[in-house]
Structure 1
Amino acid sequence: MSVRQLRVVVTADDYEEALRFYRDVLGLPELGAFSGEHGDVTILDAGRATLELSDPPHAAYIDQVEVGRRVAGHIRIAFEIDDATESTRLLAEAGARVLAGPTSTPWGSLNARLEAPAGLQLTLFEERSDGGPERVVA
């Protein structure tokens, strides 16, 4: 058996708001949209997908590093982006609630945590090669 794609399927109570946020603000390109008597679905391209499995102690550690306390449920979506500070600002303006602004991690990335439409908790992470100083969204 060979897996060719990871697709995260989210049921959004406010479908239009979630579509606007993820497609139009976050910038995930639309691969397909289907509408019919049984409802609507849109498939968005989120780039390369990985499945990160974590045990509870490690998940608690990640929350501590990114937010300062345990906040995530058993599923959290992480997007690698180019600019964590600007992306956090844009997503907050579009309706996401910032749980923690961009924070330097022990593993060298700049991570922010947001609560986004459709009940998803997001990590935005910017891989940094310079190991630069911590930046925080005001």
Structure 2
Amino acid sequence: MNIALQYCHITVNDVDEALAFYRDALGLEARNDVASGGFRWVTLGSAAQHDLEIVLSVPHAGRSQADGDALQELLTKGVLPMTVFSTDDLDATFERVRASGAEVLQEPIDQPWGPRDCAFRDPSGNMVRIQQKAKA
């Protein structure tokens, strides 16, 4: 039996603003754009992982008012779980994302536990880390 991750959700304040960051700055490809019940979900993916998609949606999309309000509060505080991407060229990826105007939280550094990484905030305040495996 095989099991694999298919979707990962990132809650954002504005889907179009987030799309510009994840598609244009990070280089992910937009795969699907679905409107339902007055809300919208956009999926993105990487050519390196054909079967995995990131879903961007606002806090109230598909949720009760109370749950959406609670999620919005966590998003506003900047305490939702971070997303970590990997790349084969961290320095080039860092420069591309920085050039987009994204807020830099950490420039590329070698971490004591192995990878070289950097960190940004997406337009909604979510932390996005990008890492490159340590060279052997």
* TM-score interval, smaller chain: 0.5 to 0.7
How is 1:10-29 mapped onto 2 (pairs within 5 angstroms)?
10-29=10-29
Counterpart in 2 of 1:95?
101
Residue type at the aligned position of 2:23: R
Residue type at the aligned position of 1:129: K
* Identical aligned residues as a percent: 25
Q: Which moved further from structure 2: 13-22 or 1-10?
A: 1-10
Q: After the TM superposition, which segments of 4 or more aligned residues of structure 1 sit over 2 Å from their partners?
A: 1-8, 46-49
CA RMSD, Structure 1 to Structure 2 (Å): 2.5
Secondary structure at the aligned position of 2:9 is classed as coil
Question: What's the CA shift for 1:123?
Answer: 0.9
Deviations 1:3-29 (A, max 9, x none): 542422223222211101101221112
8 Å Cα contact 2:15-2:42 kept in structure 1: no
In the alignment, structure 1 residue 33 sits paired with structure 2 residue 33: yes
Give 5+ residue unaligned stretches, structure 1: 50-71, 131-138
8 Å Cα contact 1:97-1:114 kept in structure 2: yes
Q: Quote the Cα distance in structure 2 between the aligned partners of 1:21 and 1:41.
A: 15
Counterpart in 1 of 2:124?
118
Counterpart in 2 of 1:80?
86
Secondary structure at the aligned position of 1:21 is classed as helix
Deviations 1:35-67 (A, max 9, x none): 355222111115376xxxxxxxxxxxxxxxxxx
Q: Scaled by the length of structure 2, what TM-score is found?
A: 0.66
8 Å Cα contact 1:95-1:116 kept in structure 2: no
8 Å Cα contact 1:88-1:98 kept in structure 2: no
Pairs aligned (count) = 108
Q: Which moved further from structure 2: 3-12 or 74-83?
A: 3-12
Question: What's the CA shift for 1:100?
Answer: 1.1
Question: What's the CA shift for 1:75?
Answer: 0.9
